[in-house]
Structure 1
Amino acid sequence: MIGKLKGTIEEIGEDHALIDVHGVCYVAYCSSRTLSKLGGAGEAAVLFIETYVREDQLRLFGFLSALEREWFNLLQSVQGVGAKVALAVLSTLSPSELANAIALQDGKSISRAPGVGPKVATRIVTELKNKAPAFAGDAAIHIGLKQELGEGVASAPVADAVSALANLGYSRDQAANAVAAALKNAGEGADSARLIRLGLKELSR
């Protein structure tokens, strides 16, 4: 079982990277987001690897972080999601963006991934909503509030403030982050007008 590759980039293909490890070249299939962040030929590279062994093939999937690899496996626990769809989702959303989308029950963001229809996006959101916080990474700080918003149980001032900021053209995720920061400064008892005002200040930074 291969868990990580450290070597030199031989080439970057459309859906894979060829990594030279002491003269042995490994093909690692990656998301387009991962491929875009790798360097060019001749540069050093480190990839976390998920190894798939089938009767007729052995395939390596490469990731920039262990968290991205965990999401790859977690996504495939959802019915109708295989390796190809999981990579498509991770090509469209970073792990933290994916955790946020699931917490907010924002299937629309997930359905932007190639080959992911509304039904599959809804299943991802529904089946992973209780698992997302454990895999939130950088998004963990605000994930609780976003889950409350997604489930419709957030306080009225918070929900109203997020809705107002979203109506101004900000994404629901941006609005939720701003209101979460505003809530930290204003306190739990703040009304929606104050949260909107402080939220706009956060968004203007």
Structure 2
Amino acid sequence: MIAKLKGLLDETGTDWAVIDVAGVGYLVHCSAKTLSALGERGEACTLYTDLQVSENDMRLLGFADSGERDWFRLLTQVQGVGSKVALAILSALSAGELQAACSQGDAAMVARANGVGPKLAGRIVNELKDKAGGMPGGGMAGVPVSAVSQAGAASADAVSALENLGFKPATAARAVALAQGELGEGASESELIRVALKRAAG
């Protein structure tokens, strides 16, 4: 079982990346959020992975953190959710947004993902409602799920703002992540942008 890859980013596509680990290139399927966090070609990167084996296929999935991988594994337990649909959901929603959607039964939020209709979205939130509280993304003691969802939205808006200023998606995402770590989950969009600009330019 391949649990993690640590190497150099060799190539990327719309939903995949090739990670060079000591001269061996691993083709890894990823969400859009993970791809944007990988950095530039030739840079060092780390991916948490999940290996899926079927009768006629072997597919390696990659995630920016173990929390995203946990959500992927949970999503693919739902009937009708394969690896492609799970990655589409993780591309459209942050861990905090996904947890909020499942906890509050908000199928419309899950249906924002490509390839997820209202019926499947409803099944996902119904089946995962009781499991969402213990999942990464919003399970911090004493912090309401809605607050975590707002923090994720502020972070996403800050990344978008930096991209509009001309920063590459990977650079913007990395800078905002650093700002979030420095300021904490309660930081506003304007605070994140201010600190992230310093990190991106530094």
Fold conserved (TM > 0.5)? yes
Asked if structure 2 preserves the Cα contact closer than 8 Å seen for 1:12 and 1:40, the reply is: no
Partners of 1:83 and 1:128 lie apart in 2 by 17
Whether 2:119 is the aligned partner of 1:124: answer: no
Partners of 2:106 and 2:41 lie apart in 1 by 38
Q: Deviations over 1:26-51 (max 9, x none)?
A: 00000011111111110001000000
- The residue type paired with residue 89 of structure 1 is I
Partners of 2:57 and 2:77 lie apart in 1 by 21
Q: Between the two proteins, what is the percent identity of the paired residues?
A: 50
Whether 2:42 is the aligned partner of 1:45: answer: no
Asked if structure 2 preserves the Cα contact closer than 8 Å seen for 1:100 and 1:136, the reply is: no
Q: Deviations over 1:102-159 (max 9, x none)?
A: 111111111000000001111111110000011043453467676xxxxxxxxxxxxx
Asked if structure 1 preserves the Cα contact closer than 8 Å seen for 2:99 and 2:138, the reply is: no
Within 5 Å, give how 1:32-111 maps onto structure 2: 32-111=32-111
Please state whether the residue corresponding to 1:97 is helix, strand or coil: helix
Gaps of 5+ in 2: 151-187, 192-202
Asked if structure 1 preserves the Cα contact closer than 8 Å seen for 2:50 and 2:60, the reply is: yes
Greater gyration radius:
1
- The residue type paired with residue 133 of structure 1 is G
Match of 1:164 in 2: none
Asked if structure 1 preserves the Cα contact closer than 8 Å seen for 2:139 and 2:145, the reply is: no
Partners of 1:145 and 1:95 lie apart in 2 by 11
Partners of 2:142 and 2:131 lie apart in 1 by 15
Residues 142, 80 of structure 1: alpha-carbon distance in 2 compared, 3 angstrom cutoff: farther
- The residue type paired with residue 64 of structure 1 is A
- The residue type paired with residue 25 of structure 1 is G
Within 5 Å, give how 1:1-205 maps onto structure 2: 1-141=1-141, 174=150
Asked if structure 2 preserves the Cα contact closer than 8 Å seen for 1:7 and 1:20, the reply is: yes
Please state whether the residue corresponding to 2:70 is helix, strand or coil: helix
Asked if structure 2 preserves the Cα contact closer than 8 Å seen for 1:97 and 1:139, the reply is: no
Deviation at 1:57, TM superposition (A): 2.1
Partners of 1:98 and 1:35 lie apart in 2 by 18
Deviation at 1:15, TM superposition (A): 0.9
- The residue type paired with residue 67 of structure 1 is G
For normalisation by structure 2, the TM-score amounts to 0.70
Partners of 1:129 and 1:144 lie apart in 2 by 15
Please state whether the residue corresponding to 2:133 is helix, strand or coil: helix
Partners of 1:22 and 1:51 lie apart in 2 by 20
Pairs aligned (count): 155
Deviation at 1:92, TM superposition (A): 0.4
Partners of 2:93 and 2:2 lie apart in 1 by 25
- The residue type paired with residue 99 of structure 2 is A
Gaps of 5+ in 1: 147-172, 175-201
